[in-house]
């Protein structure tokens, strides 16, 4: 424990004044805000148990973080063949390779960590206090595994010091993002190599983008074509979005978590000013939806819902991604964050992958040794293809 840093622990964000918490959110990140973190607590995402830490230098608040405990499957990052084998074993042993972990972070896996540090020069001292406090919680709750997630390669330069305390550094799913520096979507299309532009145009011709993308093909739009709805004023139907979200999760190769209905109720009904929704609809039927968040100068693609029966007929998912990019260009954001899945389509529009990492430790020395020994098998790096998308 640092002599200069003290820590105070709370069981609910309702016990902490929102302005106090947000005072150390110096980057004004939506995902680290009191409002968004408290939403996850109230929704009981993944039946998680939450704690919150405030770090003080003397009497001045200098840092904060959200901590949560929930069950996780260690086979998340294994290849499909290994996952199928583990599924068979679970018919006999339901809890096989499922463990409870204490995370510096929340159950929502969106490539964003929850650590707030107002004074970077105190980062090492705050980190030391954090590790000690997390060990205390593990002892009280009889939790054997502790982890810090999700951190970019740049952030790990100072976080790697936790490996001196027995943590192993593991590759998480890469995060896809891209700079947005075009004046219009037409300019973006012009910057693409012919192969990629031709494929995008083929999909665009299957929907009506309205006035945002006035392509020549729109002169021949047929009434039965699905329409892209960019309106931020429409009412988000959490029930319909949740149904389509579950449809996506049923087919997902990697399920980091499955959000519940209450999360979408709170998000759609309580955060109208923060979230945006893009919808592909055919008459009154919603075929696909994307939830977006404006986070400082970035537009973040948060969650998606799809009607899989209509997905391929109109290239619904592809067109949803193009619509998100068009929306980002139109609204002059500097960066588009596309998340940690569907690398193929996101890379083919110009997205680049940033390595992400988490740190893991077992409080059992033998198990921790085994985790280190079989680290590359348990937590392999994601293999990605590379695309030269732009002409220049």
Q: Determine what percent of the chain is predicted with pLDDT higher than 70.
A: 86
pLDDT of residue 77: 53
pLDDT grade, residue 10 (50/70/90)? Answer: very high
pLDDT grade, residue 307 (50/70/90)? Answer: confident
End-to-end Cα distance, the chain: 52
pLDDT of residue 135: 97
Q: How far is 49 from 106, CA to CA, in rounded Å?
A: 9
Q: How far is 249 from 234, CA to CA, in rounded Å?
A: 25
Say if residues 126 and 49 touch (Cβ distance below 8 Å): no
Those residues with Cβ within 8 angstroms of residue 34's Cβ, 6 or more apart along the chain or in another chain? 13, 16, 18, 21, 22
pLDDT grade, residue 363 (50/70/90)? Answer: very high
Indicate the average pLDDT of the chain: 86
Say if residues 359 and 167 touch (Cβ distance below 8 Å): yes
Residue 141 has pLDDT above 50, yes or no: yes
Mean pLDDT, to the nearest integer, of 280-302?
Answer: 88
Query: Among residues 336, 338, 352, which one has the least CA distance to residue 387?
Result: 352
Those residues with Cβ within 8 angstroms of residue 310's Cβ, 6 or more apart along the chain or in another chain? 282, 287, 316
pLDDT of residue 221: 45
Q: How far is 131 from 315, CA to CA, in rounded Å?
A: 47
Residue 86 has pLDDT above 70, yes or no: no
Residue 79 has pLDDT above 60, yes or no: no
Which is more confident, 60 or 78? 60
Q: How far is 285 from 124, CA to CA, in rounded Å?
A: 52
- Please report the DSSP string for 247-294 in residue order: HHHHH-S--S----HHHHHHHHHH-TTTEEEEEEEETTEEEEEEEEEE
Q: Reduced to 3 states, what is the DSSP secondary structure of residue 229?
A: strand
Q: Which helix (H) or strand (E) holds 15?
A: none
Most confident region among 9-13, 279-283, 319-323 by mean pLDDT: 9-13
Which is more confident, 207 or 170? 170
Length of the chain: 392
Which of 19-28, 53-62, 305-314, 376-385 has the lowest average pLDDT?
305-314
What's the token pair of residue 295?
A: 């986070």
Residue 142 has pLDDT above 80, yes or no: yes
For 200-247, what is each residue's pLDDT tens digit? 988 888 887 765 565 544 444 444 666 777 655 445 688 888 999 999
Say if residues 80 and 28 touch (Cβ distance below 8 Å): no
Backbone torsion region of residue 210, taken as left when φ is above 0, otherwise alpha when ψ lies between -120 and 50, otherwise beta: left
Q: How far is 247 from 242, CA to CA, in rounded Å?
A: 9
Q: How far is 280 from 338, CA to CA, in rounded Å?
A: 18
Which of 19-33, 194-208, 320-334 has the lowest average pLDDT?
194-208
Q: What is the DSSP letter of 192?
A: B
Phi/psi at 173 (5° precision): -75, 135
Residue 350 has pLDDT above 70, yes or no: yes
For residues 127-164, one letter each, b for 16 or more C-beta atoms within 10 angstroms of the residue's C-beta and e for the rest, the string is bbbbbebbbebbeeeebbbbbbbbbbeeebeebeebee
Phi/psi at 194 (5° precision): -55, -45
pLDDT of residue 381: 86
Q: How far is 10 from 79, CA to CA, in rounded Å?
A: 39
pLDDT of residue 349: 94
pLDDT of residue 261: 92
């Amino acid at each position: 424990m640092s002599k200069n840093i003290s820590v105070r622990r709370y069981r609910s964000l309702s016990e902490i004044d929102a302005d106090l918490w947000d005072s150390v959110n110096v980057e004004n990140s939506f995902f680290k805000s009191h409002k968004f973190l408290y939403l996850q607590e109230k929704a009981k995402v993944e039946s998680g148990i939450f704690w919150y830490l405030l770090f003080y230098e003397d009497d001045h608040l200098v840092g904060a973080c959200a901590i949560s405990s929930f069950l996780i499957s260690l086979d998340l990052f294994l290849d499909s063949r290994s996952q199928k084998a583990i599924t068979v074993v679970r018919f006999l042993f339901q809890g096989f390779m499922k463990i409870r972990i204490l995370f510096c972070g929340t159950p929502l896996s969106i490539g964003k960590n929850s650590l707030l540090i107002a004074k970077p020069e105190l980062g090492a001292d705050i980190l030391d206090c954090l590790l000690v406090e997390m060990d205390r919680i593990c002892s009280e709750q009889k939790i054997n595994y502790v982890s810090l997630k999700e951190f970019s390669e740049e952030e790990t330069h100072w976080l790697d010091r936790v490996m001196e305390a027995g943590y192993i550094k593991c590759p998480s799913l890469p995060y896809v993002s891209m700079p947005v520096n075009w004046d219009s979507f037409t300019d973006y299309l012009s910057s693409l190599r012919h192969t990629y532009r031709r494929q995008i145009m083929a999909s665009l011709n299957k929907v009506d983008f309205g006035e945002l993308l006035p392509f020549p093909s729109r002169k021949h739009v047929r009434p039965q074509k699905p329409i892209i709805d960019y309106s931020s004023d429409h009412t988000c139907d959490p029930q319909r979005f949740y149904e389509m979200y579950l449809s996506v999760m049923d087919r997902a190769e990697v399920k980091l978590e499955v959000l519940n209905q209450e999360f979408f109720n709170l998000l759609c009904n309580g955060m109208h000013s923060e979230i945006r929704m893009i919808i592909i609809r055919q008459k009154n039927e919603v075929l696909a939806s994307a939830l977006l968040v404006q986070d400082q100068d970035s537009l973040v693609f948060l969650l998606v819902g799809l009607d899989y029966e209509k997905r391929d007929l109109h290239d619904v998912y592809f067109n949803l991604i193009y619509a998100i990019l068009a929306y980002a260009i139109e609204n002059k954001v500097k960066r588009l964050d596309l998340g940690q899945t569907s690398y193929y389509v996101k890379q083919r529009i110009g997205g680049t992958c940033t390595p992400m990492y988490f740190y893991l430790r077992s409080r059992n020395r033998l198990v921790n040794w085994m985790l280190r020994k079989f680290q590359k098998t348990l937590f392999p790096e994601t293999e990605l293809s590379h695309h030269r998308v732009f002409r220049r």
